[in-house]
């Protein structure tokens, strides 16, 4: 889901009219209240106080010399110098009307010409030698513009120019203008968009029709034209680098993979406190792959680079195929594929991470309480822990059995809110189910639902501490972790004993890897050990020196490549044990703002990793995620010095000359 940016985030206005990017990687925004430059963190804004001829900037274009051209409302045209970023107005005594004209479009052709499309005065051509040429509508002249209202300019790969006007579409081949008829009754152009390779031009008219032109060959058919179901496409905003079309539709923002069916993209507005439908002005893909969408009076919506790394699935009231659970609180991989989910609406669901298909099985699991934990046994039955109840569900027969967790307890908990509440569950090598209760220790159940024993807190080596993680260990016995360290069940001693070789400190998560490797997650540190049959030996660790965040892990998965994935309240952490490279993924990488739920990070047997959130689930493929090792360029934003009592801005001055007595160079 795109993230909204508004004036509160630094934008000069909540209406952004156009976007462009310069050679340095700065993103330039034309707005209703000035020109803005975004450096990835902050905005620098130019307005009339800084020399602009109007605060309403309709269009921008970055030329081959990195000058930023801009067209104004009732302010003509001008540009910012590439080095000094000072504004210069473009004027020509032969065309005084251009001084106060309203501009709607700008473009540069490969020969260096700047083309200026105005709202009422037609089209101007500004050549590198300073000469200016004017094109206007002339009645009865098919070689002229059909209208003086120029709404769009796009440059083809061969250097030709496509011109959209309220009177029709025009093609400039370098020598003459040629009118190009649209297939429908309406010839008025509302929007032009050229695909990145330049071979396809999209033309939208005022009747809501979208026409596709091949700029280097025969015209192509109109996709989406025959679609009768909503949403109806009003115009093409963008085709991204992987081939997805982003569309302006009658129901808001739409997306189509390769020209197929159109999917509605949910757009959440913080100011409206809900999903909104916007009228979209333009869209842009930056050099990193980030997507920017501009709407009328709605600010910008942004999808970060590799935004599709994470797939988000949530509950939608109007979609019966979506998740039943608004918040997913527990997950478990299935041996036959997919992931089991339970959540706040009490439903047991099966999710297929390959297809995205969701199948509801039990709704609700318990009529009164939300499930706390879930596992699948070796036999394929699903065990669900609910406060006071243990539930076994057979997906093949849909049979459900329930057993009370508190029936055989002699000392009920003082706090009824957590009495009999299961925290963790695990299956041992004999197929027995271990249930760690928050208040009464650990229960051991047979696969047929018989309570075999209860190990109270404070007995059989079980510390009176909350069990943070529990699963089968490398010796085939049940291991658990708590604030006193890592423990394993010793059947000969009939008690839990401390695992030798690891520190006696809060241990939040642990996982068994291949070849006797055991991963242990501590606060601000991830350790890797080798189990030799008797104890663990530390192999290496990743912590503060490797910039592992000082957080407590809430989940851990080790993928087939040996890379560890750690969930936390700071985000998702990737740890490569070979290079010890740590990468933290957060909302800027496409994760939802809510953190992953505790103990919900699991991996399907098809390779995808899934985590539950308060808004649904997050799914990603670890095989496709590699840290970007490209180093950003060092840019010098401003250089100044003090000469006498004056501060001089010497940005872009070459060569930079420092005189005797100059000081405070910075």
Q: Does residue 66 surpass a pLDDT of 90?
A: yes
What per-residue confidence (pLDDT) applies to 208?
81
Contacts for 177-185 with beta carbons within 8 Å, 24 or more apart? 177/135, 177/143, 177/144, 177/145, 178/143, 179/142, 179/146, 180/213, 182/209, 182/211, 183/211, 183/222, 184/209, 184/211
pLDDT at 416: 59
What pLDDT score was predicted for residue 553?
A: 98
The partner residues of 640 in beta bridges, in order of sequence, read 649
Rounded-to-integer distance, Cα 77 and Cα 577, Å? 56
The end-to-end CA distance of the chain, in Å, is 41
Does the structure show a pLDDT above 70 at 225? Answer: no
Q: Same topology for domains 224-305 and 313-624, yes or no?
A: no
Contacts from 163-171 at CB under 8 Å and sequence distance 24+?
Answer: 163/117, 163/123, 164/105, 164/189, 164/190, 164/191, 164/192, 164/203, 165/137, 165/189, 167/137, 169/203, 170/145, 170/146
Q: What is the pLDDT of residue 215?
A: 72
CA distance 185 to 159: 29
| Class in CATH terms, 224-305 | mainly beta
* Joined tokens for residue 316: 């939608």
- Work out the mean pLDDT of the chain and round it to a whole number: 91
Q: Which residues contact 17 (CB under 8 A, 6 or more apart)?
A: 30, 31, 32, 57, 58, 59, 281, 282, 294
Dist. CA 228–CA 233, nearest whole Å: 10
Q: What is the DSSP string of 194-205?
A: E-TTSSEEEEEE
**Residue 663 DSSP one-character state:** B
Alpha-carbon gap, residue 105 to 123, rounded angstroms: 9
Q: CA-to-CA distance for 236 and 561, rounded, in angstroms?
A: 40
> Please, how many CA atoms are within 13 Å of residue 418, restricted to the half-sphere of its CB?
11
Could you tell me what percent of the chain has a pLDDT over 90? 71
Q: Which residue bears the tokens 């229960």?
A: 443
What is the predicted pLDDT for the residue at 630? 67
Q: What is the mean pLDDT of residues 444-452?
A: 96
Q: Tell me phi and psi for residue 100, to 5 degrees.
A: -115, 20
Answer whether the bond into residue 231 is a cis peptide, omega within 30°. Answer: yes
Which residues make Cβ contacts (< 8 Å) with residue 616, sequence separation at least 6?
Answer: 312, 313, 314, 315, 323, 325, 326, 327, 328
Specify burial of residue 632 (Cβ count, 10 A radius: 0-12, 13-18, 19+): exposed
Q: Which of 160, 138, 161 is nearest to 148 (CA)?
A: 138
Residue range 84-109, pLDDT digits in tens: 789 999 999 999 999 999 999 999 99
Q: What is the CA radius of gyration of the chain?
A: 32
> Confidence band (pLDDT; 50, 70, 90) for 417?
low
Task: Report the candidate in 422, 407, 334, 406 with the shortest Cα–Cα distance to residue 370.
Answer: 422
> Is the domain covering 313-624 a CATH 2.130.10.10 domain?
yes
Tokens 């004036």 label which residue?
7
Domain boundaries, given as residue ranges, for the chain:
224-305, 313-624, 637-666
What digits encode the pLDDT tens for the residues 470-511? 999 999 999 999 999 999 999 999 999 999 999 999 999 999
| Gap between the Cα atoms of 178 and 37, Å rounded | 37
Give the pLDDT score at 306.
80
Nearest C-alpha neighbor of 81 from the set 636, 653, 656: 653
Which tens digits make up the pLDDT trace of 350-406? 999 999 999 999 989 999 999 999 999 999 999 999 999 999 999 999 999 999 997
- Helix, strand, coil in percent for the chain, rounding step 5: 5, 45, 50
* Mean of pLDDT values over 568-597: 90
pLDDT at 572: 96
Strand ranges inside 559-625, DSSP E? 564-568, 571-576, 581-585, 602-603, 609-613, 616-620
Measured CA to CA, the distance from residue 325 to residue 374 in angstroms comes to 14
Per-residue b or e along 1-32, where b marks 16 or more CB atoms closer than 10 Å to that residue's CB: bbbbbbeeeebbbbbbbbbbbbeeebbbbbbb
Write out the DSSP string of 331-343.
EEE-TTSSEEEEE
- Of 71, 140, 136, nearest to 106 by C-alpha is 71
- Mean pLDDT of the 642-649 span: 85
* Separation of alpha carbons 337 and 380, rounded Å: 11
């Amino acid at each position: 889901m795109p993230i909204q940016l508004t004036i509160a985030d630094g934008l000069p206005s909540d209406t952004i009219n156009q976007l462009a990017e310069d050679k340095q990687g700065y993103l330039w925004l034309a707005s209703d209240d000035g020109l803005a430059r975004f450096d990835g963190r902050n905005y620098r804004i130019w307005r009339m106080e800084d020399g602009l001829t109007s605060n309403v900037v309709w269009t921008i274009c970055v030329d081959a010399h990195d000058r930023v051209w801009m067209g104004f409302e009732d302010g003509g045209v001008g540009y910012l110098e590439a080095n000094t970023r000072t504004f210069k107005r473009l004027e020509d005594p032969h065309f005084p009307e251009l001084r106060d004209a309203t501009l709607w479009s700008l473009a540069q052709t490969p020969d260096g010409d700047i083309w200026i499309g105005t709202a009422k005065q037609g089209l101007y051509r500004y050549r590198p030698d300073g000469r200016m040429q004017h094109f206007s509508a002339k009645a009865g002249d098919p070689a002229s513009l059909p209208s003086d209202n120029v709404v769009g300019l796009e440059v083809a790969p061969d250097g030709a120019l496509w011109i959209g006007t309220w009177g029709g579409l025009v093609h400039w081949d370098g020598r003459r203008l040629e009118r190009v008829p649209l297939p429908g009754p309406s010839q008025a152009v509302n929007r032009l968009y050229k695909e990145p390779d330049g071979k396809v031009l999209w033309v939208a008219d005022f009747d809501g029709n979208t026409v596709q032109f091949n700029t280097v060959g025969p015209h192509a058919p109109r996709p989406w034209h025959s679609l009768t179901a909503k949403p109806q496409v009003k115009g093409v905003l963008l085709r991204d680098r992987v081939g997805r079309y982003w569309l302006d539709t009658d129901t808001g923002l739409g997306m189509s993979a390769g020209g197929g069916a159109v999917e509605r993209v949910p757009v959440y507005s913080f100011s409206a406190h809900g999903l909104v439908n916007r009228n979209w002005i333009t869209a842009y893909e930056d050099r990193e792959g980030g997507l920017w969408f501009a709407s009328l009076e709605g600010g910008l919506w942004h999808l970060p680079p590799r935004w599709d790394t994470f797939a988000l699935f949530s509950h939608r009231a109007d979609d019966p195929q979506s998740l039943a659970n608004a918040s997913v609180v527990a997950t478990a991989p299935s041996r036959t594929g997919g992931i089991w989910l339970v959540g706040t609406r009490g439903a047991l669901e099966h999710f297929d991470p390959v297809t995205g298909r969701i199948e509801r099985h039990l709704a609700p699991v318990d009529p009164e309480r939300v499930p706390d934990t879930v596992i699948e046994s070796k036999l394929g039955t699903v065990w669900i822990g609910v406060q006071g109840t243990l539930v076994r569900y057979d997906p093949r027969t849909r049979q459900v059995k329930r057993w009370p967790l508190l029936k055989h307890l002699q000392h009920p908990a003082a706090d009824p809110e957590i009495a009999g509440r299961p925290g963790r569950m695990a299956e041992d090598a004999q197929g027995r189910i271990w249930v760690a209760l928050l208040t009464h220790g650990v229960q051991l159940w047979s696969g047929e639902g018989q309570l075999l024993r209860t190990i109270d807190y404070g007995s059989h080596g079980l510390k009176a501490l909350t069990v943070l993680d529990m699963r089968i260990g490398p010796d085939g016995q049940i291991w658990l972790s708590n604030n006193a360290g890592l423990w394993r069940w010793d059947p000969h001693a009939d008690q839990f004993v401390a695992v030798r070789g690891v520190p006696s400190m809060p241990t939040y998560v642990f996982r068994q890897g291949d070849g006797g490797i055991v991963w242990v997650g501590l606060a601000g540190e991830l350790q890797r050990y080798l189990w030799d049959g008797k104890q663990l030996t530390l192999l290496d660790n990743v912590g503060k020196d490797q910039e592992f965040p000082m957080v407590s892990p809430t989940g851990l998965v080790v993928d087939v490549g040996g890379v560890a994935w750690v969930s936390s309240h700071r985000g998702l952490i990737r740890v490569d044990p070979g290079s010890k490279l740590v990468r933290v993924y957060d909302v800027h990488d496409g994760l939802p703002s809510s953190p992953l739920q505790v103990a919900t990070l699991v991996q399907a047997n098809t390779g995808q990793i899934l985590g539950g959130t308060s808004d649904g689930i997050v799914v990603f493929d670890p095989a496709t995620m590699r840290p970007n090792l490209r180093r950003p360029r060092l840019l010098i934003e401003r250089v100044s010095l003090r000469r006498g009592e004056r501060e001089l801005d010497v940005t872009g001055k070459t060569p930079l000359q420092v005189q005797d007595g100059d000081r405070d160079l910075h």
